[in-house]
């Protein structure tokens, strides 16, 4: 009997921290054991024995059976070594070493997945609208491995239909510097054009240039 054909699974998320999902056998008991490969290099084996609520409704996930346990999830930590801006490929293999097809949340079935994470991540916050209708915030870029920050950043402020302003995030924010460990010159203030904020709800977007 080919037990590999009885393994069903899904990749639920891929982030810089970890790849997560679930896998279960249609027959038999005990957690599924998977062998991940990233860039053709075998990683430590993972057991699918973490709680996973997505299978509370087996019909919703198009399963031909109802699992007898909710402990079918897995989490593969990635660490910092893949935060290099390059495209990496990974597969999930059975204990016998054969590649297994897994579905994504949108239902697409693949036996090979790719991911890429930039070396830097954007940290920032749009904090509040003050009594003078001034919008304050802060923004920095931080290297995922070294934690070094890059500043000042240029921030684009826009609505759904027009550009409102281009700002330099260089105002002193010692409170942010103390928590993030960055230079204090990372803040910005924005005063919307006269008449922009009124009785109707307006959406304002902040993007890094």
The ranges assigned to domains in the chain are 3-115, 120-208
| pLDDT for res 57 | 45
Q: Going by CATH, does the domain composed of 3-115 fall within 2.60.40?
A: yes
Q: How many residues does the chain have?
A: 209
| pLDDT for res 161 | 82
Indicate the pTM of the whole model.
0.63
Lowest mean pLDDT segment, chosen from 33-47, 87-101, 122-136, 162-176: 122-136
7 forms bridges with which residues in the sheet?
A: 25
Instruction: Find the Cα–Cα–Cα–Cα dihedral 71, 72, 73, 74, rounded to 10°.
Output: 110
Contact 206, 189 (CB under 8 A): no
Helix (H, G, I), strand (E, B) or coil at 117: coil
Helix (H, G, I), strand (E, B) or coil at 6: helix
């Amino acid at each position: 009997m080919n037990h590999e054909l009885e393994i069903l699974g899904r990749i639920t998320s891929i982030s810089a921290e970890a790849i997560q999902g679930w896998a279960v056998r249609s027959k038999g008991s005990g957690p599924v054991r998977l062998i991940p490969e990233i860039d053709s290099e075998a990683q430590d084996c993972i057991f699918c024995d973490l709680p996973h609520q997505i299978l509370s409704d087996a019909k919703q996930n198009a399963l031909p059976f109802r699992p007898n346990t909710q402990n079918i999830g897995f989490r593969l930590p990635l660490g910092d070594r893949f935060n290099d801006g390059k495209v990496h490929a990974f597969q999930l293999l059975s204990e016998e070493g054969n590649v297994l097809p897994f579905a994504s949340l949108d239902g697409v079935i693949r036996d090979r997945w790719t991911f890429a994470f930039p070396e830097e991540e954007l940290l920032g916050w749009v904090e509040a609208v003050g009594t003078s209708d001034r919008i304050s915030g802060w923004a920095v870029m931080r290297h995922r491995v070294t934690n070094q920050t890059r500043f000042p950043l240029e921030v684009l402020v826009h609505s759904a239909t027009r550009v409102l302003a281009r700002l330099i995030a260089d105002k002193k924010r010692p409170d942010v510097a103390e928590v993030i460990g960055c230079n204090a010159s990372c803040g910005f203030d924005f005063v919307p054009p006269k008449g922009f904020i009124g009785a109707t709800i307006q959406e304002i977007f902040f993007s890094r240039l």
